[in-house]
Homo-oligomer: A and B are copies of this chain.
Amino acid sequence: MAEGITSRDQSYADWYVDIVTKAGLADYSPVKGCMVIKPRGYALWENIQRELDRMFKETGHQNAYFPMLIPESFLRKEAEHVEGFSPELAVVTHAGGEKLDEPLVMRPTSETIIWSMYKKWVQSYRDLPILINQWANVIRWEKRTRLFLRTTEFLWQEGHTAHATRQEAEEETLRMLEVYRRFAEEYMALPVVVGKKTAMEKFAGAVDTYSIEAMMQDRRALQAGTSHFLGQNFARAFDVTFQGADGELEYVWATSWGVSTRLVGALVMTHSDDKGLVLPPRLAPTQVVVIPIYRKDSADKVRTYAQEVAELLRPHLRIETDFDDQASPGWKFAEWELRGVPLRLEVGPRDMEQGKVCLVRRDTGEKIFVERGLVVTESQRLLAEIQESLYQRAKDFRERHTFKPQTYDDFKALFEGEGARGWALIPFCGDPAVEKRVKEETKATVRCLPLDLKDPPAGQSCVISGKEATTWAIFGKAY
């Protein structure tokens, strides 16, 4: 266990804060609920952004930017939307030394300001679809906050698309959900369940909300991304119609979808251990750290050798070197383990003499001795192996902790006390009253109705209510 890091067994919550702060990802700010994202945390977010942005563009989207301030009256135009968001609004009442005629709210999400613009931009079916994404900060006044997972201000992307038909919008909703699934699984090594939200859990203003849900190491669920089919709700609220090819006027169909800096928290909570951060190689800001180990008599030669090996790697991988003479190798190893660099490359006098290097995996601690000439291909192979094995480990963990309780008593036993023993996957009647009761009695909520499961057979009973089940549902305690 690294110095100063609480172990997960002792307190998972304290462990999380220790990792985030000591690995230099983020710090508390003087503004309640707002964090500072430090360079090592921001570098992770930049890598997340780069890959997602590429995937958005490959699916035909363009970036744009809309004002952060929204007239308060705009939010009131969509009834569910304002109800969902008004408790969390930050309100600007004064500006430029004067009281404003109408207060402005800081965006908690941008549907309203964006649809007020789409009203200007859309007249005919030829103006559709609009496929826009925005990278931005948003503000939601949260009572209880946690670094990355729930902060008053956070960074995110929000896609907002406008379509001529219901079908197109529904396809878009699922297309972006699939982009999120691929990104989570292939880049974050984060296995996710893809599913639909219940009416109780959906986005305020959506017809349907879909999400990707991941299990953290404390067996709680984390909603890692959402994609909403908004129907014509915002088009009606902002009177956005278009003339079809047939000359008829119709309201425009909409989607919105987003992921946020919360994903950095998901990375930490899924892969890291008591020594510190563990990062998936495809997103790690530094993939290999090169550390020479020498005594005085061999210092120059070993340093030169390490430098040469570093130069071999540099064109192919994101690397750093640590040639600091003040710190001991052991101290350095611990430091780079804390920072989550997937591979450590050590070279000592004996490695040098044999023309070798030693690669050490962050995830398993395994040491692999490699010929100098093979260092690039072997590093690449090991990084791919680490990526895959982090994913598999997390997936196995989730599967081991996904239960199918047969009775409500068994179900409740999963969620007794403060923690959670896992997720419950059950045939469910879908009744909101039952869903509400479960939440009150167990604090577990429906994370999603998984899309890849067929409905339960006719006549199967809901584990909770005993009524006929209409769907499979995953219940869990959530972040």
Interface residues of A (CB under 8 A from B): 27, 29-31, 34-39, 41-43, 45-46, 62-71, 74, 86-97, 103-104, 106, 113, 116-117, 120-121, 132, 136-137, 139, 141-143, 152-153, 155
Contacts and interface: CB of A to CB of B under 8 A. Distances in A.
A93 B93 contact: yes
A444 to B, nearest CB: 26
B91 A95 contact: yes
B93 A89 contact: no
Contacts of A63: 39, 42-43, 46
A69 B32 CA distance: 10
Nearest 10 A/B pairs, CB to CB: A96-B141, A39-B62, A34-B67, A37-B65, A90-B95, A91-B94, A95-B141, A93-B93, A31-B67, A42-B63
B90 A65 contact: no
B70 A31 contact: yes
B89 A29 contact: no
Nearest to A73: B30
B139 A137 contact: no
Contact of A136 (B27, B31, B137): B137
A153 B120 contact: no
B64 A92 contact: no
Contacts of A67: 29, 31, 34-36, 153
A68 B45 CA distance: 17
B66 A43 contact: no
Given A30-B71, A92-B106, A95-B141, 5 more contacts: A29-B67, A30-B74, A37-B65, A88-B96, A96-B141
Contact of A36 (B29, B117, B143): B117
Given A90-B69, A92-B106, A64 B38 contact: yes
A97 B34 CA distance: 18
B69 A27 contact: no
Contact of A86 (B42, B89, B97): B97
A362 B163 CA distance: 34
Contacts of A30: 71, 74, 113, 116
A91 B93 contact: yes
Identical chains bound together, number: 2
B31 A69 contact: yes
Contacts of A142: 96
22 contacts: A27-B120, A30-B71, A31-B113, A34-B67, A34-B69, A37-B65, A39-B64, A39-B132, A42-B64, A45-B65, A69-B152, A86-B97, A90-B94, A90-B95, A90-B96, A91-B95, A92-B92, A92-B106, A94-B103, A96-B143, A97-B141, A136-B137
Contacts of A121: 27
The winner among A65, A69, A137 for most chain B CB atoms within 10 A is A65
A136 B66 CA distance: 13
Contacts of A116: 29-30
A192 B152 CA distance: 41
A153 B62 contact: no
Contacts of A89: 95-97
Contacts of A103: 94
Contacts of A43: 62-63
Contacts of A96: 87-90, 141-143
A31 B62 CA distance: 23
Given A39-B132, A95-B91, A96-B143, A68 B153 contact: yes
A155 B31 contact: no
A43 B132 CA distance: 12
Contacts of A70: 31
Nearest to A143: B96
Contact of A94 (B31, B66, B71, B93): B93
A360 B69 CA distance: 43
A90 B43 CA distance: 30
Contacts of A113: 29-31
Nearest to A154: B65
B137 A66 contact: no
A285 to B, nearest CB: 10
Given A71-B31, A113-B29, A65 B42 contact: yes
A137 B136 CA distance: 8
A131 to B, nearest CB: 9
A264 to B, nearest CB: 11
